[in-house]
A = this chain, B = another copy of it.
Amino acid sequence: MSGSVGIVKTHYVDLFHEGTPLSLDSGASLEPVRVAYETYGQLNASRSNAILICHALSGNAHAAGKHHADDKKSGWWDSYIGPGKPFDTERYFIICSNNLAGCNGTTGPSSINPATGKPYGLRFPMITLADMVRVQKSLIDHLAIPRLMAVAGGSMGGMMALQWALDYPDCVASSVIIGSTLRLSAQNIAFNAVARQAIMMDPHFNNGDHYEGEKPKNGLALARMMAHITYLSEQGLHEKFGRRLQNRSTFSYGFEADFAIESYLHHQGSSFVDRFDANTYLYITKAMDYFDPFPDPETTARRLKPVQARFLVMSFDTDWRFDTSRSKEMVKILHWNEKNVSFQEISSPHGHDTFLIDTPIFRQSLASFLQRVYLEESGS
């Protein structure tokens, strides 16, 4: 039986304050940094059962449960977090924090810049995934957790799980990297560039200062619609929508949405803008573009040398955003550098977004891996 974590609340903590700013890869610094996070389950006496979950581009700290009993939806990874679920809250202590530059409680471009008393907008410094991980490490220190049993994430969250293993080798027992990649390809960067262009050409973008008055909703919706196509597989779209018409039996011969897929995408776009900040979209896509921890064999070897984490790498056979070959390359490099790595390709029609969807084989593999790490960590 697997259940729900029930009603949860988001916590907030101010880090990097009182003259100890966060130093960023760009050379800039930032203070203070507020972090929004949630936890599920109980930290054990030896503080050895903590798992950090890293969310993807559009995620947030609310990974499981509900904030209010009448919430329609549970947290974004509720299928995988809870009693008896892979991230078993009867055994593990689960932490999920909103990423730096986010828009759901952690400091980002929509936060008030203490120097001006107004939202940062594009005055927010550019950040990298390593910066985002640095903030998470500060949160883990604040929670007095010396070592994470696992860091896990899908897509960008998987990149962060890798970054954790590289940057804090003594603090990560395992790294679970799902539907992810070592770096964005030219095609991935191209889609991000078009998404940013869509936002920045919106007449309400106002060079990032859109927190009063109209927001660049059309541009952000467009960016989301396009990105959403890349999250789903051709096959999945075919099975779900095909060429089915939307509430009509014949073509409109006009510019309404004739096909169900069109209506679906418009809905995806318009619902996204109510919960997401256009500037956060710009910063996070740029951070993803920059991610490239293994640019050459020498750097790779140097970075991997101290790494102790064991790795679980998983891919989905219909994911064309970060296809299986990306995961295989990651596995090869980890192998060649004598790391402990397991790899599994999961068959699913749902493409990149499979990691968000309840998928039995994926559940089982995740659960088994975590259980093994837990036993090893408990015995050590």
**A interface residues, Cβ below 8 angstroms from B:** 26-28, 122, 125-126, 183-187, 189-191, 193-194, 196-198, 200-203, 218-219, 221-222, 225-226, 229, 232, 234, 237-238, 240-243, 251, 253-255, 257-259, 261-262, 265-266, 269, 282, 286, 289-290, 292, 320
Contacts and interface: CB of A to CB of B under 8 A. Distances in A.
Given A198-B222, A203-B203, A222-B197, A238 B286 contact: no
A202 B28 CA distance: 35
A261 B258 CA distance: 33
Given A187-B237, A254-B126, A282-B255, A229 B261 contact: no
B251 A222 contact: no
A319 to B, nearest CB: 13
A266 B197 CA distance: 9
A293 to B, nearest CB: 13
Contacts of A219: 201
A149 B186 CA distance: 42
Contacts of A198: 198, 222
Contact of A292 (B28, B200, B237, B243): B243
B289 A190 contact: no
B126 A241 contact: no
Specify which of A184, A193, A232, A269 lies most central, judged by the most chain B CB atoms within 10 Å of its CB: A193
A255 B222 contact: no
Interface SS majority for chain A: helix
Given A187-B232, A197-B222, 10 more contacts: A27-B253, A28-B253, A186-B238, A186-B240, A190-B229, A194-B222, A194-B229, A197-B225, A198-B222, A201-B222
Contact of A189 (B27, B226, B262): B262
A173 B188 CA distance: 43
A105 B16 CA distance: 64
Contact of A222 (B222, B238, B262): B222
Given A229-B191, A261-B193, A186 B242 contact: yes
Contacts of A229: 187, 190-191, 194
Contacts of A290: 251, 258
B261 A189 contact: yes
Contacts of A183: 243
A209 to B, nearest CB: 14
Nearest to A263: B193
Nearest to A224: B194
Contact of A190 (B194, B196, B237, B320): B237
Nearest to A201: B218
Nearest to A261: B186
Given A191-B229, A261-B186, A265-B190, A286 B255 contact: yes
A259 B269 CA distance: 27
Given A26-B253, A191-B229, A229-B194, A234 B185 contact: yes
A201 B266 CA distance: 12
B122 A255 contact: yes
A261 B225 contact: no
A321 to B, nearest CB: 10
